C-alpha cells in the first residue's frame, strides 16, 4: 500500500470511529473537555460535544453508571474517557473506587463532598489514588451558591499545601471556586467569584509552580471568571503554567450554544446565563494563549496525564 492509499483507508475509517459531524477545525486544533458530567441519553452527550466543537470528553460519573458509559463509548468510539466518583465519607469508598478503576475509570472525580480537604475521609482516597496511579479531581468551595448549600473540600487555601507535600505520588487536579479565586493573593472568601485585577502571588499560582503533583482544571464559571478578570495576568498565567492547565467545561447547556442554561442554582454565575461555558472559555483561551499553548491546554496535557493516544 502506498502513502496515498494508506491515507484513503484512514479517511474511510473515520466515520466508523464516530467522528462524523465534529467540526474539527472550529478552534484551530482538536479540543478535549476534561470536565463533562455524564448525561442520561447518549445523544445528549454527543449534542454538546458536537455543538461546542469538542472532539473528546472525560465523563464525570457516579458509581453505577458503568452501563451508560459503555453504551456511550460504543456509540462514539474514541471520544470518551471517564472518571468515577463516590462519597468519600462512606465506609466502602475505597472498595467502590478501586472497582471503578478496574472497570476502566482513568481517575477519581469529580470529588465534591462536605468534608475537609485535609480530613481523614479524603486522605485515604489520596493514598488510594497514588496506589492505583490515577489522578483525583477535587471541587473546592467555601462560599455558598444558594442559602445553606454548605462548603466542599474545605480549607484549601490554608491546608492544601500540606496535602501536596504529604502525598507526593498522588496527582491532584484542582477545580472550582476556592481553587481559582485563590489565584489572587488578596482573596479571603469574600465571594464565590471575585472580580477585578488579580493580585500577583496567590496561593494557587504558587502551588502550581512549586508542586509537580498539582494540575488545574479550568472548567465552570470559576475557571472562566479567573481567566476573564485581568487579560495581562491571564496571558502570562497560561504561559507559565502551560504544562499544568487543562480545559474543561462543566457546562450544562443542551446544544453547545447555551440553550437551556440559566445558572438558576448559582445566581452569582449569571454572567454565563444563556451561554455555553465551553465556548466562552475556549474563546478566552484562544485570545489569551499562543496556538502552541492553546493546544497544550485543550489537548496535549490531558493526553499526557491520562496516557491517551493523541
Ligand atoms: Zn465542580
Ligand atoms: Zn455548553
- pLDDT tens-digit map of 269-299: 889 999 999 999 999 999 999 999 999 999 9
Give the ligand whose atoms come closest to the C-alpha of residue 258.
2
Rounded distance, CA 62 to CA 83, Å?
8
Residues with CB under 5 A from ligand 2 (ion): 251, 253, 276, 278
Q: 160: closest CA among 93, 211, 111? A: 211
Average pLDDT over residues 3-29: 51
Cα 284 to ligand 2 centroid, rounded to whole Å? 15
Cα 11 to ligand 2 centroid, rounded to whole Å? 29
Cα 2 to ligand 1 centroid, rounded to whole Å? 49
Cα 209 to ligand 2 centroid, rounded to whole Å? 30
pLDDT of residue 268: 86
Average pLDDT over residues 11-34: 65
C-alpha cell at 279: 465556548
Paired with 60 in beta bridges are 37, 83
pLDDT of residue 37: 98
What band does 198 get if pLDDT is binned at 50, 70 and 90?
Answer: very high
Cα 267 to ligand 2 centroid, rounded to whole Å? 17
Give whole-number Cα distances, 158 to 18, 182, 226, 228, in Å.
Answer: 45, 11, 20, 25
Cα 296 to ligand 2 centroid, rounded to whole Å? 21
pLDDT greater than 80 at residue 15:
no
pLDDT greater than 50 at residue 17:
no
* Helical pair 120-132 and 93-102, crossing angle rounded to 10 deg: 20
Cα 36 to ligand 2 centroid, rounded to whole Å? 10
pLDDT of residue 108: 98
Give the ligand whose atoms come closest to the C-alpha of residue 217.
1
Average pLDDT over residues 33-41: 96
Cα 265 to ligand 1 centroid, rounded to whole Å? 13
Q: What is the mean pLDDT of the chain?
A: 92
The model's pLDDT over 63-109, given as tens digits with 9 standing for 90+, comes to 789 999 999 999 999 999 999 999 999 999 999 999 999 999 999 99
* Dihedral sign for Cα atoms in the order 133, 292, 276, 269: positive
Cα 75 to ligand 1 centroid, rounded to whole Å? 26
Higher pLDDT, 212 or 309: 212
pLDDT greater than 50 at residue 130:
yes
pLDDT greater than 70 at residue 162:
yes
Cα 22 to ligand 1 centroid, rounded to whole Å? 26
Give the ligand whose atoms come closest to the C-alpha of residue 49.
2
Q: Tell me the pTM.
A: 0.92
pLDDT of residue 265: 81
Over pLDDT 90: what percentage of the chain? 86
pLDDT of residue 24: 54
Cα 124 to ligand 2 centroid, rounded to whole Å? 34
The model's pLDDT over 236-268, given as tens digits with 9 standing for 90+, comes to 999 999 999 999 999 999 999 999 887 778 888
Cα 269 to ligand 2 centroid, rounded to whole Å? 14
Average pLDDT over residues 4-17: 39
Average pLDDT over residues 170-197: 97
Average pLDDT over residues 220-232: 97
Give the ligand whose atoms come closest to the C-alpha of residue 35.
1
pLDDT greater than 50 at residue 21:
no
pLDDT greater than 60 at residue 197:
yes
Dihedral Cα 141, 82, 97, 265, nearest 10 deg: 30
Out of 25-29, 48-52, 121-125, 151-155, pick the least confident: 25-29
Give the ligand whose atoms come closest to the C-alpha of residue 252.
2
Give the ligand whose atoms come closest to the C-alpha of residue 37.
1
Amino acid at each position: 500500500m502506498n502513502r496515498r492509499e494508506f491515507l484513503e483507508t484512514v479517511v474511510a475509517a473515520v466515520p466508523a470511529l464516530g467522528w462524523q459531524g465534529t467540526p474539527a477545525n472550529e478552534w484551530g486544533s482538536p479540543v478535549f473537555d476534561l470536565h463533562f458530567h455524564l448525561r442520561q441519553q447518549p445523544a445528549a452527550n454527543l449534542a454538546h460535544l458536537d455543538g461546542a466543537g469538542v472532539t473528546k470528553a472525560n465523563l464525570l460519573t457516579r458509581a453505577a453508571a458503568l452501563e451508560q458509559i459503555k453504551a456511550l463509548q460504543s456509540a462514539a468510539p474514541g471520544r470518551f474517557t471517564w472518571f468515577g466518583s463516590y462519597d468519600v465519607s462512606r465506609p466502602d469508598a475505597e472498595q467502590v473506587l478501586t472497582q471503578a478503576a478496574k472497570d476502566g475509570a482513568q481517575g477519581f472525580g469529580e470529588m465534591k463532598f462536605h468534608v475537609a480537604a485535609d480530613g481523614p475521609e479524603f486522605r485515604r482516597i489520596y493514598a488510594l489514588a497514588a496506589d492505583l496511579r490515577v489522578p483525583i479531581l477535587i471541587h473546592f468551595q467555601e462560599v455558598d451558591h444558594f442559602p445553606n448549600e454548605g462548603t466542599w473540600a474545605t480549607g484549601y487555601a490554608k491546608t492544601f499545601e500540606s496535602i501536596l507535600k504529604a502525598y507526593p505520588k498522588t496527582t491532584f487536579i484542582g477545580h472550582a471556586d476556592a481553587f481559582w479565586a485563590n489565584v489572587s493573593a488578596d482573596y479571603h472568601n469574600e465571594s464565590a467569584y471575585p472580580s477585578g485585577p488579580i493580585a500577583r502571588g496567590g496561593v494557587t499560582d504558587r502551588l502550581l509552580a512549586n508542586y509537580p503533583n498539582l494540575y488545574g482544571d479550568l472548567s465552570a464559571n470559576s475557571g472562566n471568571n479567573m481567566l476573564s478578570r485581568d487579560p495581562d495576568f491571564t496571558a502570562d498565567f497560561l504561559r507559565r503554567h502551560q504544562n499544568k492547565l487543562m480545559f474543561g467545561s462543566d457546562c450544562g447547556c443542551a446544544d453547545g450554544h447555551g440553550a437551556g442554561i440559566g445558572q438558576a442554582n448559582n445566581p452569582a454565575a449569571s454572567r454565563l446565563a444563556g451561554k455555553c461555558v465551553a465556548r466562552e472559555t475556549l474563546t478566552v483561551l484562544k485570545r489569551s494563549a499562543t496556538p502552541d499553548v492553546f493546544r497544550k491546554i485543550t489537548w496535549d496535557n490531558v493526553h499526557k496525564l491520562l496516557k491517551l493516544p493523541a
